[in-house]
A = this chain, B = another copy of it.
Amino acid sequence: MRSPVNRQITLAARPHGNPKESDFQIVQRPVPVPGDGQVLVRNVLVSLDPLNRILMGNANSDQPPIALGETMFAFTVAVVEQSNNPAFAVGDHVAGTTGWQDYAVSDGSDLRIVDPDIAPLPAHLGTLGMTGLTAWVALTVLLNPKPRGTLLVTAAAGAVGSAAAQIGKLRGYRVVGTAGGPEKIRHLIEDLGLDAAVDHRAPDFTEQLAHAVPDGIDTLYDNVGAALFPALLPHLNVNAQIAVGGVMSQITRTEPFTGPDHLPDLLRAALYKILTIRGVNVTEYHGHSYPEFLADLAPAIAERKLHYGTHLVQGLETIPAAFTQMFTGRTAGKMIAQIS
């Protein structure tokens, strides 16, 4: 099913806090024509990410927002429809950043050919895409990759979280996840095979957490970025390492953080527990680390051991509503819209 025009989702208003459907507008433009050295791609799958909220503006982030009226940035899987670039043939599947729209032209520099036969197409946006690469770089390059003991992943049912949890299991960690609600907890245990999972909404969260990490936490992959951190600190072991992979609890927050001040606790823990804390950013590893990442996961891919956990919605027009749901904690896994 191909759209005869290029529908684009543009930014209509900058949200405060959670995004609303009315922050977006769907416009129709002609299908673009590729120039010399360019390709025309038809987007098949487009990704919905916390990054999109950041790019809308008024978020707790250093990242500059996009302009009002601009088409929303998005990670995508697309098919090459026309090619004036010898590196791409018509019919190739590519992963890129071609936005929340039906069509895009590109000089190819942001496109990577993907093999649709090694895994379902949505996997190339999730565990086998930038999302998985991010988790892999954090656990392989940024932190000491020699696994020992317990890896705790927050928001483990989320896109990066589920990739981190599964890579941790493949490495030999004991993996514990946090998530919100019984269905996500079931998913972590039964689908992803985690060793334990703790519901951060449970009234006895603190006790559940202590029970889930009896030998403490050796590696922490945090995607939440404030809300759970103070509860996790006392469980960190000496020489623990922390990947700060996301600040989901902060992105849409509009009130200031009141006290008590937990920064002194973190600094004291950093000193006495000899912590290593690293912010995760995949940008500088994107180009050269991808083949190594894919080779590392190849056996697990071949044995169908990876769970891709995507939340698929149908149609470009459903994106604004689906996107707003991501911020109310009602979805698990990588949120993807199939648009053709």
Residues of A near any B CB (own CB < 8 A): 60-63, 222, 225-226, 229-230, 244-247, 249-250, 256-281
Contacts A263-B262, A263-B263 hold; do A271 and B256 have CB atoms under 8 A apart? no
Sample 5 A-B pairs with CB under 8 A, ordered by A number: A226-B264, A229-B263, A250-B264, A257-B261, A277-B278
Q: Which 7 A-B pairs have the closest CB atoms?
A: A259-B259, A226-B264, A262-B263, A277-B277, A257-B261, A270-B279, A62-B272
Measured between beta carbons, the chain B residues less than 8 angstroms from A265 are: 257, 263
Further 19 A-B residue pairs, CB within 8 A, beyond A263-B265, A274-B278 = A62-B268, A62-B272, A229-B267, A244-B275, A245-B271, A247-B264, A256-B260, A257-B260, A257-B262, A257-B265, A259-B261, A266-B266, A270-B278, A270-B279, A271-B279, A274-B281, A275-B277, A275-B278, A276-B276
Q: How many copies does the complex hold?
A: 2
Shortest Cβ distance from A271 into chain B, in angstroms? 5
Question: B62, A225: Cβ atoms under 8 Å?
Answer: no
Bound complex: CA A85 to CA B246 (Å): 57
- Interface contact B267-A275, CB-CB below 8 Å: no
**A34 CB, min distance to chain B CBs, angstroms:** 35
On chain B, the residues within 8 Å of A264 by CB distance are 60, 225-226, 247, 249-250, 257
Q: Are B266 and A274 in contact (CB under 8 A)?
A: no
Distance to closest chain B CB from A268 (angstroms): 5
The residue from B261, B277, B280 contacting A262, defined by CB atoms under 8 A apart:
B261
Q: Is the beta-carbon distance between A272 and B268 smaller than 8 angstroms? A: no
Choice from B257, B268, B277 contacting A247 with Cβ under 8 Å: B268
The reply to whether A61 and B263 form a contact with Cβ atoms under 8 Å apart is no
Q: How far is the CA of A263 from the CA of B256 in the complex (A)?
A: 12
For A262, what are the chain B residues with a Cβ–Cβ distance below 8 Å? 257, 261-263
The answer to whether A276 touches B274, judged by C-beta atoms less than 8 angstroms apart, is: no
Give Cα A329–Cα B326 distance, bound, in whole angstroms: 51
* Residue in A225, A264, A281 whose Cβ sees the most chain B Cβ within 10 Å: A264
Bound form: Cα–Cα A280–B260 in Å: 25
Cβ–Cβ < 8 Å partners of A256 in chain B: 260
